[in-house]
Amino acid sequence: MVKLMKSAWGDVFAVIAGILFSLSFSPFDFSFLVFFALAFLKFSLAELSVKRATLRGFLFGLGLFGLGVSWVFVSMVVNEQSGYLLPLLMTLLYCSFWALFPAISAFLYVKNRVNNDLDWFVFASVWMFVEYIRGKWVLGGFPWLQVAYSQLDTPLSGYVPVMGAYGTGLIIAIISALMAESLLKKQYSSRYFFAIITLVSIGVLLQTVQWTTISGKSLTVSLIQGNIAQKDKWAVENRNATLKQYYDDSAAHWQSDLIIWPETAIPAYFEDVKQDYLLPLEQEAVANNADIITSLPYKDKAGNLFNSVLVLGKNRAMYKKIHLLPFGEYLPWQPVSGYLLGLMNVRLGKFSSGEIDQPLLNVAGHYFVTSICYEDAFGEQSIRHVEQAKFLVNVTNDGWFDGSIEPYQHMQIARMRALEAGRYLLRVTNTGVSAIVSEKGKIVNQAPVMQRVTITSDIEPMSGMTPYSRMGDKPTILIISLILLYSFINRYFLKN
């Protein structure tokens, strides 16, 4: 078997394994495949040179991201004016760039692997180290298709409130590496099997722990999914119809304590609609003892443009998006990226980031943590000030990706934030997936995609702190750093 892995067939299987890795995430949800895919990768690197291992990792990444982020193509042709050839080439380039990270993982692992019983730990630590770098630092962070998200509906989700996405990912990578080790070192297979059973059993036990508690009376919330097509959303001639639609859908649910609209539901600057639309809407909400959370672009006196969330009600306040989306709200790699997107007739805003330490917004007497679109992919941002918050709110516009797998992946990522924080999540999108998620990360109520619909449910305000909310990613990063340091020292002394 090891000889087969050294041949060209091993490279073919690497692409297939990458595809299987991607199939473990929503909307496919074959959660078990992530273990076999990662185990294959470790097994196939057993006797490869550093150069060949790097290629093997890149091919694995091509399979993973070639399927997993194929939706980027949809976003580039949404306006139906850019043709298909250039978006296709850009998509291939985009997928190839992210495929470099599994290649880096393979390179680092083979370069620093140890010939003892801790080799499985080195592989798992290297994989998660590279996931962390990709998810936190590259282009501001791209934490898509990270292993932990595949296990939200398995016993391993019990680790999430304790260790977060990266810590849970480390457990998954360890289990996968132990599976590979059981084939490479069959004399120890019973030992590895026992370790795997132990890790899964701990996850089952952790699932039974209630980390946070109900705090106060339940709230009735209504999430309004407007289903405004992306190509029509910003057309000036459609503005009044859009504003009337959201008003009518809200007026039908004045009995709710809280009504939430999706990201940039209002296709106009704050000052342009303040007097004639927002203030009358707010007065009516207050008269009905309700609060509205809406979203719209905001331009300050200096001309800086912000993607914002606005609370209308007794405690009017605004949150300005902190973590901007690369190639969506700002353009890295200028002027090349701007030139290429211009060729495809893709017009993007030039937004500024809001202050990091903004106060929490308050509705219905409760503070909540706000995130806009892509911000829900970052765990440590979502737990900032969470001790004061009773629930989480995310507003999103995934209309750029209609008909693709991206909205389902994004919903899966958002669920992780609820489980990490031990808080209900109210997630409202323009075209889907809109849902109410419990503090256990389970979907309580979900709207059908690509439909104009409002969903209403009762939620429980929660208080208390999960271990992850208290410590963040620091313990996981410390463990990974110590193992990597050990492997570097081990390699140095072996060479000398």
Same structural domain for residues 356 and 451? yes
Residue 391 shares a structural domain with residue 450: yes
Indicate whether 351 and 332 sit together in one domain: yes
Number of domains the chain is built from: 2
Q: Which residues are catalytic?
A: 263, 321, 373
Q: Are residues 56 and 166 in the same domain?
A: yes
**Is residue 337 located within the same domain as residue 370?**
yes
- CA–CA separation, 240 vs 273, rounded Å? 11
Give residues with Cβ within 8 angstroms of 186, minimum separation 6.
none
Q: Is the same domain home to 134 and 272?
A: no
Cα–Cα distances (Å) from 495 to 107, 266, 485, in that order, read 18, 63, 15
- Judge whether 8 and 148 are in contact, CB under 8 Å: no
The predicted structure's pLDDT at residue 86 = 84
Give me the helices (H) in 214-253, please.
Answer: 230-233, 239-251
**pLDDT tens, N- to C-terminus, the chain (496 residues):** 666 667 788 899 999 999 999 999 999 999 999 999 999 999 999 989 999 999 999 999 999 999 999 999 988 876 555 678 888 898 999 999 999 999 999 999 999 887 777 899 999 999 999 999 999 999 889 999 999 999 999 999 999 999 999 999 999 999 999 999 999 888 989 999 999 999 999 999 999 999 999 999 999 999 999 999 888 888 899 999 999 999 999 999 999 999 999 999 999 999 999 999 999 999 999 999 999 999 999 999 999 999 999 999 999 999 999 988 887 777 666 555 555 556 555 555 688 999 998 999 999 999 999 999 999 999 999 999 999 999 999 999 998 888 899 999 999 999 999 999 999 999 999 998 999 999 999 999 999 999 999 999 999 999 999 999 999 999 999 999 999 998 888 877 765 5
pLDDT score at 345: 57
* Sequence-ordered strand ranges (E) for 183-342: 213-214, 219-225, 258-260, 291-299, 305-312, 317-320
Mark whether 158 and 9 lie in a shared domain.
Answer: yes
Residue 460: CATH number of its domain? 3.60.110.10
Cβ proximity of 459 and 218 under 8 Å: yes
Q: Which residues have CB under 8 Å from 279's CB, separation 6+?
A: none
User: Using CA atoms, how far apart are residues 332 and 476, in angstroms rounded to an integer?
Assistant: 30
Q: Do 272 and 142 belong to one domain?
A: no
Query: 391-396 and 443-446: which strand pairing?
Result: unpaired
Tell me the pTM: 0.93
The answer to whether residues 195 and 178 touch, using CB atoms and an 8 Å cutoff, is: yes
Question: Are residue 300 and residue 439 in the same domain, yes or no?
Answer: yes
111 and 242 assigned to the same domain = no
Structure tokens at 135: 């998810």
In terms of domains, do 203 and 182 share one? yes
Q: Among candidates 396, 454, 453, 463, which has minimal Cα distance to 424?
A: 463
> Is the same domain home to 62 and 6?
yes
Domain that holds residue 197: 2-210+472-495
Q: Which two tokens stand for residue 69?
A: 């982020």
What span, in angstroms and rounded, lies between the C-alpha atoms of 298 and 296? 6
d(CA 38, CA 173): 7
- Tell how far CA 106 is from the center of its chain: 24
CA 394, CA 390: separation in Å to the nearest integer?
A: 14
What is residue 85's predicted lDDT score, i.e. its pLDDT? 84
